[in-house]
Amino acid sequence: MQLLLSRGRWTRKDLALAQECSERTVYRDLQVLELAGIPIQLEPAGLYRIRHDFRFPSLPLSDDEALGQAVASVIAAGPGLDVTAGAAPVTKKIVATAGDELARVMHDAQQLILVLDLKLADHSRHREILRTIQWGLIHRKQLSGSYRSPHEEHAVTLQLHPYRLCLIKQAWYLIAANRDDATPRTYRVARFRTLRQLETSAQVPDGFDLKAYLGNAWSVFRGDTSYKIEVHFAKAAARLVTEGVWHSTQKIQKHPNGTVTLRFTVDGLQEILRWILGWGAHAAVIQPPELRQLVREQLEHTLRIYQP
């Protein structure tokens, strides 16, 4: 039906090729559509089409709602975010039944709004694994597969109770508890080599709180110690750094000379350390002393690499 709506006239052979099925199957499907009240006409040249004056009932969408659906399609198709069929099939169905104005809005939005260069981890080889996780969560089933941590010499076989699937910073992560340990852990999806859904039911605590689990981790992994972080940024970086919300605890103090101080409460130092180093000479750690020492050690090590 979507094919007939999209191009107007099709031969039975063309429909079979597009659907990757036999012409007999196409003929049967056309009969089903006619029984459902869809006015399909066969022209003398063997072309099938839906009567031109027929209109399907359409969703009463406002322009903003139609635009929102179109933007969702674009975002879901972005590199690293295209882990399922996304919103595009739904958008196509809406366009096929929408009035001319709404169809134009949705079509134009998908042509004019783009998602580029998100610098997310490459999940192109893990779409089936992500799909397995999604359905495992929905069906509340255990998952089993092979996982290779960068800290382990060999891959290990895991049987997991999946809790949540999260896109954090630049990658997809599975929060799950091992069958032999009730403590939830964080697994990077791209490190799974294989994964399958089991028939065994997953045990997920009703009161599991993802925010409480992540705590004040800067990114993904929560450290054992909480720190009050204070970082001073030079004027050259002040506007750029204050354009972003880097952490849920972020507080900004602007100074008369154009510099700024950012304060955070963070569990662990390793993840925020990498972020601070990325600002180079524009950022200076004020507190805590442990973080200042880590930055100093990293910079000294980098300097030694470049010494002749």
Which residues fall within 8 angstroms of residue 111, CB to CB, at 6 or more apart? none
Distance CA 110, CA 67 (A): 9
φ/ψ region of 287 (left if φ > 0, alpha if ψ in -120 to 50, else beta) reads beta
Domain at 127-214: CATH code:
2.30.30.520
Domain at 226-306: CATH code:
3.30.70
Q: pLDDT (tens digit, 0 to 9) for every residue of the chain, 308 residues total? A: 566 666 566 788 888 888 788 888 888 888 887 777 777 778 777 787 777 666 666 677 888 988 898 898 888 888 778 777 767 888 887 887 777 788 888 889 889 998 888 888 888 889 899 999 999 999 999 999 999 998 888 999 999 999 999 999 889 999 999 998 889 999 999 999 999 999 999 999 999 999 999 999 999 999 999 999 999 999 999 999 999 999 999 999 999 999 999 999 999 999 999 999 999 999 999 999 999 999 999 999 999 999 88
184 C-beta neighbours (distance < 10 Å), count: 21
Token pair of 203 as six digits:
């045990």
Distance CA 156, CA 245 (A): 37
**Can the peptide bond before residue 288 be classed as cis, meaning omega within 30 degrees of 0?**
yes
Report the CATH fold assignment for 2-50. Answer: Arc Repressor Mutant, subunit A (1.10.10)
Distance CA 15, CA 17 (A): 5
> Per-domain residue ranges for the chain?
2-50, 63-112, 127-214, 226-306
Check for a shared fold between 127-214 and 226-306: no
Phi, psi at residue 75, to the nearest 5°? -65, -45
